[in-house]
Amino acid sequence: MQHYPKHYCGVFGIFGHPNAAQLTYYGLYALQHRGQESAGIVTSDNGHFNEYKGMGLVSQIFKGEALSELTGNMAIGHTRYSTTGSSHIRNAQPLTGNCRLGRIAIAHNGNLTNAAQVRDELEAQGLMFQTTVDSEIVLNLLAQPTLGGHDNNLIETVRRIEGAYSLCILTERELIGVRDPHGFRPLSIGKVDGAYVLASETCAFDLIHAEFIRDVEPGEIVVIDKNGLRSIKAFPEHQRRAFCIFEYVYFARPDSTIADRNVYKVRVEMGRELAREHPVKADLVIPVPDSGNCAALGYSLESGIPFEMAFVRNHYVGRSFLQPSQLIRDFDVRVKLNLIGNLVKGKRVIVVDDSIVRGTTSKSRVNNLKEAGAKEVHVMVSCPPHMNPCVYGIDFPDRSKLMAANHSLEEIRQYLNADSLHYLSQDGMVKATGLPKSNFCMACYDGNYPVKYDSMVDKHIMERRVGKPHGLGEELKKEELQKQLL
Amino acid sequence: MQHYPKHYCGVFGIFGHPNAAQLTYYGLYALQHRGQESAGIVTSDNGHFNEYKGMGLVSQIFKGEALSELTGNMAIGHTRYSTTGSSHIRNAQPLTGNCRLGRIAIAHNGNLTNAAQVRDELEAQGLMFQTTVDSEIVLNLLAQPTLGGHDNNLIETVRRIEGAYSLCILTERELIGVRDPHGFRPLSIGKVDGAYVLASETCAFDLIHAEFIRDVEPGEIVVIDKNGLRSIKAFPEHQRRAFCIFEYVYFARPDSTIADRNVYKVRVEMGRELAREHPVKADLVIPVPDSGNCAALGYSLESGIPFEMAFVRNHYVGRSFLQPSQLIRDFDVRVKLNLIGNLVKGKRVIVVDDSIVRGTTSKSRVNNLKEAGAKEVHVMVSCPPHMNPCVYGIDFPDRSKLMAANHSLEEIRQYLNADSLHYLSQDGMVKATGLPKSNFCMACYDGNYPVKYDSMVDKHIMERRVGKPHGLGEELKKEELQKQLL
Amino acid sequence: MQHYPKHYCGVFGIFGHPNAAQLTYYGLYALQHRGQESAGIVTSDNGHFNEYKGMGLVSQIFKGEALSELTGNMAIGHTRYSTTGSSHIRNAQPLTGNCRLGRIAIAHNGNLTNAAQVRDELEAQGLMFQTTVDSEIVLNLLAQPTLGGHDNNLIETVRRIEGAYSLCILTERELIGVRDPHGFRPLSIGKVDGAYVLASETCAFDLIHAEFIRDVEPGEIVVIDKNGLRSIKAFPEHQRRAFCIFEYVYFARPDSTIADRNVYKVRVEMGRELAREHPVKADLVIPVPDSGNCAALGYSLESGIPFEMAFVRNHYVGRSFLQPSQLIRDFDVRVKLNLIGNLVKGKRVIVVDDSIVRGTTSKSRVNNLKEAGAKEVHVMVSCPPHMNPCVYGIDFPDRSKLMAANHSLEEIRQYLNADSLHYLSQDGMVKATGLPKSNFCMACYDGNYPVKYDSMVDKHIMERRVGKPHGLGEELKKEELQKQLL
Amino acid sequence: MQHYPKHYCGVFGIFGHPNAAQLTYYGLYALQHRGQESAGIVTSDNGHFNEYKGMGLVSQIFKGEALSELTGNMAIGHTRYSTTGSSHIRNAQPLTGNCRLGRIAIAHNGNLTNAAQVRDELEAQGLMFQTTVDSEIVLNLLAQPTLGGHDNNLIETVRRIEGAYSLCILTERELIGVRDPHGFRPLSIGKVDGAYVLASETCAFDLIHAEFIRDVEPGEIVVIDKNGLRSIKAFPEHQRRAFCIFEYVYFARPDSTIADRNVYKVRVEMGRELAREHPVKADLVIPVPDSGNCAALGYSLESGIPFEMAFVRNHYVGRSFLQPSQLIRDFDVRVKLNLIGNLVKGKRVIVVDDSIVRGTTSKSRVNNLKEAGAKEVHVMVSCPPHMNPCVYGIDFPDRSKLMAANHSLEEIRQYLNADSLHYLSQDGMVKATGLPKSNFCMACYDGNYPVKYDSMVDKHIMERRVGKPHGLGEELKKEELQKQLL
A203 catalytic residue (yes or no): no
pLDDT for position D326:
65
Residues A381 and A373: beta-carbon distance below 8 Å: no
Asked if the Cβ–Cβ distance from B253 to A203 is below 8 Å, we say no
- In A110-254 the beta strands, taken as DSSP E runs, fall at 166-170, 175-179, 188-192, 195-199, 211-215, 220-225, 228-233, 243-244
Shortest Cα distance from A235 to chain D (angstroms)?
7
- D-chain residues within 8 Å CB-CB of A103? 470
Residue C161: give its domain's CATH number: 3.60.20.10
What is the β-pairing status of strands C195-199 and C243-244? unpaired
Residue B363 phi, psi (nearest 5) = -60, -45
Let me know if residue B402 belongs to a domain: yes
Give me the active site residues of B, please. 9
B279-288 pLDDT tens trace:
999 999 999 9
pLDDT for position D66:
81
Distance of CA D45 to the CA centre of its chain: 29
D329-341 pLDDT tens trace:
777 777 788 999 9
Rounded Cα distance between A6 and C182, Å, is: 72
D409-421 pLDDT tens trace:
999 999 999 999 9
Categorize the per-residue pLDDT at D266 as very low, low, confident or very high, splitting at 50, 70 and 90: very high
Mean residue pLDDT across chain D: 86
Q: Tell me which residue range forms the domain holding A89.
A: 9-240
- In D56-200 the beta strands, taken as DSSP E runs, fall at 74-80, 95-99, 102-109, 166-170, 175-179, 188-192, 195-199
Shortest Cα distance from B303 to chain A (angstroms)?
13
Q: What percent of chain D has pLDDT above 90?
A: 62
Let me know if residue B127 belongs to a domain: yes
Alpha helix segments (H runs only) across B108-215:
115-124, 135-143, 153-160, 203-207
- C-chain residues within 8 Å CB-CB of B145? 124-126
- C-chain residues within 8 Å CB-CB of D262? 340, 342-343
Q: Which of A113, A16, A119 is closest to A74 using CA atoms?
A: A16
Same domain, B397 and B267: yes
Residue D390 annotated in ligand binding: yes
In this complex, the chains that touch B, judged by 3 or more CB pairs closer than 8 A, are A, C
Q: Which of C151, C429, C71 is closest to C271 using CA atoms?
A: C429
Q: How many angstroms separate the first and last alpha carbons of chain C?
A: 69
Mutation for A interface: D128, D144, D476, most A CBs within 10 A: D128
Hey, CA dihedral for B206, B208, B209, B215, is it positive or negative?
Answer: negative
Element (H, E) at C27: helix C20-30
Same domain, D104 and D166: yes
Residues B236 and A315: beta-carbon distance below 8 Å: no
Same domain, C333 and C274: yes
Count of structural domains, chain A: 2
Residue D33, CA distances (Å) to A89, D1, D395 in order? 29, 11, 14
Residue of A nearest to B209 (CA): A328
D204-252 pLDDT tens trace:
999 999 999 999 999 999 999 999 999 988 898 878 999 999 999 999 9
Same domain, A300 and A231: no
Residue B371: give its domain's CATH number: 3.40.50.2020
Widest CA span in chain C: 97
Same domain, B55 and B180: yes
Residues D268 and D448: beta-carbon distance below 8 Å: no
How many beta carbons lie within 10 A of that of residue D484, not counting itself? 13
**Mean pLDDT on A289-308:** 95
Same domain, B295 and B198: no
pLDDT for position C200:
98
Rounded Cα distance between B7 and C273, Å, is: 72
pLDDT for position B366:
95
Let me know if residue B475 belongs to a domain: no
Residues B205 and B255: beta-carbon distance below 8 Å: no
Exposed e or buried b per residue across D291-322, where buried means at least 16 C-beta atoms within 10 angstroms of its C-beta:
bbbbbbbbbbbbbebebbbbbbbbbbbbbbeb
Burial class (CB in 10 A: 0-12, 13-18, 19+), B14: buried
How many beta carbons lie within 10 A of that of residue D169, not counting itself? 28
Mean residue pLDDT across chain C: 87
Residues B56 and B82: beta-carbon distance below 8 Å: no
Asked if the Cβ–Cβ distance from D471 to A173 is below 8 Å, we say yes
| Bridge partners, residue B52, by sequence | B41
pLDDT at residue A475 greater than cutoff 90: no
Same domain, B63 and B207: yes
Distance of CA A135 to the CA centre of its chain: 14
- C-chain residues within 8 Å CB-CB of B152? 472-476
Let me know if residue B252 belongs to a domain: no
How many beta carbons lie within 10 A of that of residue A228, not counting itself? 10
Same domain, D225 and D274: no
pTM above 0.95, yes or no: no
Residue D120 phi, psi (nearest 5) = -55, -45
Residues C136 and C129: beta-carbon distance below 8 Å: yes
Same domain, A296 and A164: no
Q: Which of B130, B174, B176 sits opposite C97 (nearest CB)?
A: B130
Residue of A nearest to D157 (CA): A472
Q: How many angstroms separate the first and last alpha carbons of chain D?
A: 69
pLDDT for position A478:
52
Asked if the Cβ–Cβ distance from C342 to D60 is below 8 Å, we say no
Q: Which residue, of C240, C273, C293, is where some domain finishes? A: C240
Q: Which residue, of A186, A209, A240, is where some domain finishes? A: A240
Let me know if residue A448 belongs to a domain: no
pLDDT for position B337:
87
Let me know if residue C452 belongs to a domain: no
Same domain, D220 and D288: no
Same domain, C200 and C70: yes
Residues B220 and B210: beta-carbon distance below 8 Å: no
* Helix/strand/coil for B312: strand
Q: Which residue, of A403, A420, A440, is where some domain finishes? A: A440
Rounded Cα distance between C189 and C193, Å, is: 14
C-alpha torsion angle, residues B85, B87, B90, B94 (rounded to 10): 130
Mutation for A interface: B250, B302, B327, most A CBs within 10 A: B327
Distance of CA A253 to the CA centre of its chain: 11
Rounded Cα distance between A237 and A223, Å, is: 19
pLDDT for position D466:
43
Asked if the Cβ–Cβ distance from C327 to D58 is below 8 Å, we say no
Same domain, B138 and B58: yes
Asked if the Cβ–Cβ distance from D154 to A233 is below 8 Å, we say no
Query: Among A389-398, D314-323, D328-337, whose mean pLDDT is lowest?
Result: D314-323
Let me know if residue B466 belongs to a domain: no
Let me know if residue A4 belongs to a domain: no
What is the β-pairing status of strands D376-381 and D420-423? parallel
Q: Within chain C, which residues score under 50 in pLDDT?
A: 1-7, 83-85, 149-151, 319-321, 456-466, 481-482, 484-486
Residue of A nearest to D44 (CA): A469
Mutation for C interface: D314, D329, D332, D368, most C CBs within 10 A: D314
Q: What is the mean pLDDT of each run of 10 residues along chain B (486 residues)?
A: 51 97 94 91 93 89 84 96 58 91 93 90 91 90 70 83 95 95 97 97 94 96 94 87 95 94 96 98 95 96 96 70 62 82 95 86 93 96 92 77 88 96 98 96 94 58 51 58 46
Residue B421, CA distances (Å) to B185, B267, B378, B428 in order? 31, 19, 6, 16
pLDDT at residue D131 greater than cutoff 90: no
C15-31 pLDDT tens trace:
999 999 999 999 999 99
Q: Which of A181, A186, A218, A226 is closest to A17 using CA atoms?
A: A226
Mean residue pLDDT across chain A: 86
| Contact B/D (≥3 CB pairs under 8 Å) | no
pLDDT for position B326:
65
**Mean pLDDT on A179-195:** 97
Asked if the Cβ–Cβ distance from C171 to B467 is below 8 Å, we say no
pLDDT at residue D457 greater than cutoff 50: no
Categorize the per-residue pLDDT at D83 as very low, low, confident or very high, splitting at 50, 70 and 90: very low
Alpha helix segments (H runs only) across D93-216:
115-124, 135-143, 153-160, 203-207
Q: Which of B354, B350, B248, B335 is closest to B291 using CA atoms?
A: B354
Residue D94 phi, psi (nearest 5) = -65, 145
Query: Among B379-393, C232-246, D115-129, D389-403, whose mean pLDDT is lowest?
Result: D389-403
Residues B97 and C462: beta-carbon distance below 8 Å: no
